[in-house]
């Protein structure tokens, strides 16, 4: 069975956490809300998310990938070296690294965008380009194990590509 970390922190975008979290579960893929150790996080609208695993206990070998949602949470998440190292480790192992909207900020801090194709929310386009990515204004961009999207409206395509990537993988984590 595959296991995917869905990163969570305060000020997360509610649809960008819960849509992929639940959609992946529908496909029989284990999803785990991984946070920075606070136990409960509130979305921009105040909707709670309970941490299921602290990043301190998350190990790259235990996961098939990570989903990095947007909102303002990525600006908090990227300040944690454990978060950046976890994302970079998954990327290096060619496991799924998926980010939507402002989730690109974590990709930047993890150092995984150089010479890659990606998309993001328009407000951070310059940040993504300055990190070395080729920016494409598409609902979803797939570049190897990196999957990126722009906004909640792109969630169906984003989730479809994540599920397709995971179903085509032969590893068991």
**pLDDT digits over 45-59, tens only?**
999 999 999 999 999
Return d(Cα 76, Cα 11) in angstroms, integer. 9
CA–CA distances in Å: residue 150 to residues 35, 125, 134, 135: 22, 10, 14, 11
In 3D space, the residue among 97, 95, 169, 170 whose CA is nearest the CA of residue 133 turns out to be 97
**Domain contains 148:** yes
pTM, two decimals, is 0.96
**Domain contains 98:** yes
Which residues are 3's β-sheet partners?
Answer: 30
**Domain contains 150:** yes
For 85, the domain range is 3-167
Task: Look at the chain and report how many structural domains it folds into.
Answer: 1
pLDDT bin (cut points 50, 70, 90) of residue 169 is confident
Catalytic residues: 102
Q: Judge whether 58 and 5 are in contact, CB under 8 Å.
A: yes
Q: Which residue has the tokens 């979305």?
A: 43
**Domain contains 74:** yes
Domain containing residue 149: CATH number: 3.40.50.880
Residues 117-165 pLDDT 10s: 999 999 999 999 999 999 999 999 999 999 999 999 999 999 999 999 9
**Domain contains 172:** no
Return d(Cα 124, Cα 30) in angstroms, integer. 30
Q: How far apart are the first and last CA of the chain?
A: 6
Angle at Cα 5 formed by Cα 51 and Cα 1, nearest 5°?
A: 120
**Domain contains 128:** yes
In 3D space, the residue among 118, 154, 122 whose CA is nearest the CA of residue 136 turns out to be 118
């Amino acid at each position: 069975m595959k296991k995917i970390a869905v990163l969570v922190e305060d000020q997360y975008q509610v649809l960008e956490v819960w849509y992929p979290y639940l959609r992946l579960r529908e496909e029989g893929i284990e999803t785990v809300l991984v946070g920075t150790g606070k136990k409960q996080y509130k979305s921009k609208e105040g909707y709670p998310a309970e941490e299921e695993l602290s990043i301190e206990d998350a190990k790259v070998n235990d996961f098939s990938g990570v989903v990095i949602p947007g909102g303002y949470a990525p600006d908090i998440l990227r300040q944690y070296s454990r978060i950046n190292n976890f994302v970079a480790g998954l990327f290096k192992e060619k496991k799924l690294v998926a980010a939507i909207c402002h989730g690109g900020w974590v990709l930047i801090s993890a150092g995984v965008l150089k010479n890659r194709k990606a998309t993001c929310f328009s407000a951070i386009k310059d940040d993504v380009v300055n990190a070395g990515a080729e920016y494409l204004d598409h609902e979803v961009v797939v570049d190897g194990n990196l999957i990126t999207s722009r906004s909640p409206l792109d969630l169906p395509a984003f989730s479809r590509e994540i599920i397709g990537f995971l179903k085509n993988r032969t590893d068991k984590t």
